Amino acid sequence: MNNIIPKTEWVKTRSENGVGWIQLSHENKLNPLSASFILAIKDAAEKFDNDRSIGCIVLIGSEKAFAAGADLKEMIKLNYASVTESRYIENGWLDIPKIKTPIIAGVKGYALGGGCELAMMCDFIIAKDDAKFGQPEINIGAIPGAGGTQRLTRSIGKSKAMLAVLTGDMMSADEAENCGLVAKVFKGEDFDISLKEIAVKIANQSKPLAKLAKQAVNVAFETTLEEGVRSERSLFYSTFALDDHVEGMGAFSEKRKPIWKNK
C-alpha cells in the first residue's frame, strides 16, 4: 500500500474550450475506488490545475455510476494496522480538495460511499435526474472515512446527514438538490449540454479571480464567520492588484465584454 502505482488506464482526460475533463473509466462501470484509482484521479486533476489554459475541471463517471463506492475487494484484505500505517484514506484523497482551479462533479447514476465523498470534494455537483447519492458504509461494517460525515453535514444539515449515515439509505437527485447537496439537476440529454455550458462559462472567467472566489467561499466552511469575513475582505483587496480587475471595471464602464488577461 505504501508504494501505490496510479492506475492511469482507468482515467481518461481531454481538454476543450478551457475545460479539463476527467472521466472515471474503470473496467467495472461502477467505478470502485481503490487506492491506485484515487491516485490516478488526483494526478489528472493536479495536471489540469497546473495547466494555465484550463479554467475549470469537470469530473465525470460512466452512464451507470459516478462511483458506487470503495473497492471492497481491496478493502476486505485490510486491518487496523494496515490502514493506519499505509495512510489508506489519506493518499490522494487529501490532495483533491486542494485543487485551486474550480472543479465540478458531473454525476450520473450512483455516487455512493467514497463516490459521494469524491463528488463532495469538488466545488459543486451537477446531477442527472437518475443520480443516487448516499453513504451506505454502515451496512458493510464501516463508517464514512473520506469526509462523508463532515461534508455531508455541512451541505445538508445534521438531521438529514445523520439519517443518511445511520440508515445507509440512498437519496434521489431531486432530494439532493432540494437539501443543498446538488447545485442543479438536469434531465436526459440536457445534462451533458448543461454541464458543458456551465463548465465553459466558468472557464471563460478570469482565472485568478475564479480561484480567489473559490478560496473565499471555501473559507466559510473552515472557520468562524468573523474570521471568514476578514479573509474575504483580504482576498477582495487583493483583486485590486490584478490587471483583470482594471479590465473588468473598464469593460463595465464602457458597456462591453471584458477581455481577460488572466493576471
Task: Point out the residues that are catalytic.
Answer: 70, 114, 117, 137
For 20-44, letters b (16+ CB in 10 Å) and e give bbbbbebeeebbbbbbbbbbbbbbb
Closest among 116, 135, 103 to 217, alpha carbons compared: 103
Q: How far is CA 151 from the centre of its chain?
A: 11
**H-type helices in 136-224, by residue range?**
148-156, 158-167, 173-178, 190-203, 207-219
Residue 261 DSSP label: -
Q: Grid coordinates representing 168? A: 445507509
Handedness of CA 34, 35, 36, 39 (dihedral sign): positive
Q: What are the φ/ψ torsions at residue 245 (nearest 5 degrees)?
A: -65, -45
Q: Is the dihedral of CA 130, 135, 141, 147 positive or negative?
A: positive
Length of the chain (residues): 263
What would the grid cell of residue 166 be? 445511520
Given a contact cutoff of 8 angstroms between Cβ atoms, the answer to whether 73 and 119 are in contact is no
Q: What SS3 state is found at 161?
A: helix
Q: How far apart are CA 124 and CA 230, in angstroms?
A: 24
